[in-house]
Structure 1
Amino acid sequence: MLGRMSADPSPTAPPRRAPAGAAVLREDVTDAIRTAVFEELAAVGYARMSIEGIARRAGVGKTAVYRRWKSKLALVLDLVSAVATEGLPAPATGSLYGDVRALLEVAAHALRHPVASQVVPDLLVEATRHPEIADAIKAALLDGQHGVAAVVVRDAVARGELPEGTDVDRALDLIVGPLYWRLVVVRSALPAGYLDGLAVSAVAALRA
């Protein structure tokens, strides 16, 4: 632990000094950098984004960025992972329709986030050239959603609402796929009652 006193019980033993550069990172600076990443990605895209541009937009030196992340890739992937972990735990409403409707509500909120609407599509293009980006996006986005869908399917099977062996990947495609298409690809607003109708359709498809 930094700043811990020497183990020597002698009253004359001086306290250890924290090594140079061990100062606590300021959270307001970290937040400013993260905001700058969003703005820089929206302005120039991932390929043209640079640590210099991020630092300039955040009003900090490049050193402040490199103290927190070793590269622009590490920075962006950390941001994607942080956003992907936001939201509610797996729904437990007591019915398949209720769980699907709740999952759609969470997914709609997440897909309206700037990471989904601006950053992720750009990263998916980069992922075709950089396997590490593809792996990180899968871990940050797909794996988490897959875990939630697995709980929804498991509970529905236990209640007798879905047959044994229902495919979790197919369930996730049926539930979230149309919403992703509407909000991220087409970029169209959701009319009143859209999530209710989509939940009904998804449940019917899962039972088919």
Structure 2
Amino acid sequence: MEKEPTKPRRVPAGAAVLQENVTDAIRAAVFEELATVGYGRMSIERVAHRAGVGKAAIYRRWRSKLPIVLEVVSALAKQGLPTPDTGTLHGDVKVLLEATARVLRHPMAAQIIPDLFAESARNPDMAQALQVAVRDSQRGVAEVVVRNAVNRGELSADTDVDLALDLASGPLYWRLATIRSPLPDGYLEGLTAATTAALTSARIPR
């Protein structure tokens, strides 16, 4: 007995089909709004107008502006930072610092990042979410760098990943995102050498 041909599955009536081009337009609009007016003045209405969509299109994807912003910032953090594997700790740290500096020097990022940090001081939800969106993604990269250096015998197995990340990226955030001072010639190379020296000085001989 022959089986009836399987019918293709149909999308249930009334189900929303999220178009990727609309989602991308909304993300771009959020990024531009953050750079133009900041988080405090950004609204769903403004984002919808800039993206050329209705507010309903946004609410079908995110419940409020906070998760939209965090998704955009998290994507920026992940895309901007590679996971280097040059074969040496010095080389890995240098690549990581160069990538971080490129992100922080971006004109729009230079407007957005300080604004979000200021907002996080007033908004516990923002502070906690930024910790996940930015810090944790960067920590994942630093963890790989430290682990590779440990495997090569350049660092002790008990090297503190958080300390390594603070040593490497802290000065850049201070210079580029806080006081907004340009980096002098040779700064990244000097910071690379200083960070590497600080980490290897605690290495336990095998």
Given the two structures, how large is their TM-score scaled by the length of structure 2? 0.82
- Between the aligned partners of 2:148 and 2:27, the Cα distance in structure 1 is 37
> Distance between the aligned counterparts of 1:14 and 1:176, measured in 2?
56
What is the CA–CA distance in structure 2 between the aligned matches of 1:110 and 1:200, rounded to whole Å? 21
1:74 equivalenced with 2:102 (yes/no): no
Q: 1:138 Cα deviation (Å)?
A: 0.8
Q: Give the Cα separation in 2 of the matches to 1:94 and 1:18.
A: 50
Correspondence list, 1:87-106, <5 A: 87=80, 89-106=82-99
The gaps in structure 1 that reach 5 residues or longer are 1-8
Partner residue, 1:65: 58
| Aligned positions, number | 199
One-letter amino acid matched to 1:40: E
> Aligned match of 1:148 in 136, 141, 150?
141
State the match for 1:37 in structure 2.
30
Match of 1:157 among 150, 155, 158: 150
Match of 1:121 among 105, 114, 123: 114
The runs of at least 4 aligned residues of structure 1 exceeding 6 Å deviation read 13-16
Distance apart, 1:181 and its partner CA: 1.4
Change (3 A) 1:114 1:66: farther
RMSD of equivalent CA atoms: 2.5
**Does the Cα contact within 8 Å between 1:111 and 1:117 map onto a contact in 2?**
yes
**Distance (whole Å) between structure 1 residues aligned to residue 83 and residue 34 of structure 2:** 31
Deviation at 1:104, TM superposition (A): 0.9
SS at match of 2:189: helix
Q: Deviation of residue 156 (structure 1)?
A: 2.2
Share of identical aligned residues, percent? 63
TM-score by length of 1: 0.82
